[in-house]
Amino acid sequence: MRWIALVLAVIGASCFAGIPDYKFDKKEIGSHINLSANSVAKLSLPLSILESANIVGVDGLVVVLKDRSAFSIDTLSSKDIGYPESDMRLWPKFMLGEEPVGDYPPNYVEDVKKSRQVLVESNKPYKTGQFKTENGKCFLLMGKEKTSIYITDNSNKEIITLITTTGMTEEKIQEYILQGVL
Residue 167 lies in a domain: yes
pTM: 0.87
- The Cα–Cα gap between 169 and 175 comes to 10
Neighbours of 160 (CB within 10 A): 28
CATH of the domain at 68: 3.40.1000
- The Cα–Cα gap between 73 and 162 comes to 6
Whole domain around residue 107: which residue ranges?
20-180
- The Cα–Cα gap between 48 and 53 comes to 10
pLDDT per position as a tens digit, 58-103: 788 999 999 999 999 999 999 999 999 999 999 999 999 999 988 8
Q: Minimal CA–CA distance to 178: which of 29, 4, 61?
A: 29
Structural domains of the chain, count: 1
Strands 61-64 vs 54-57: parallel, antiparallel or unpaired = antiparallel
Residue 11 lies in a domain: no
Q: What is the pLDDT of residue 181?
A: 87
Residue 53 lies in a domain: yes
Q: What is the pLDDT of residue 182?
A: 64
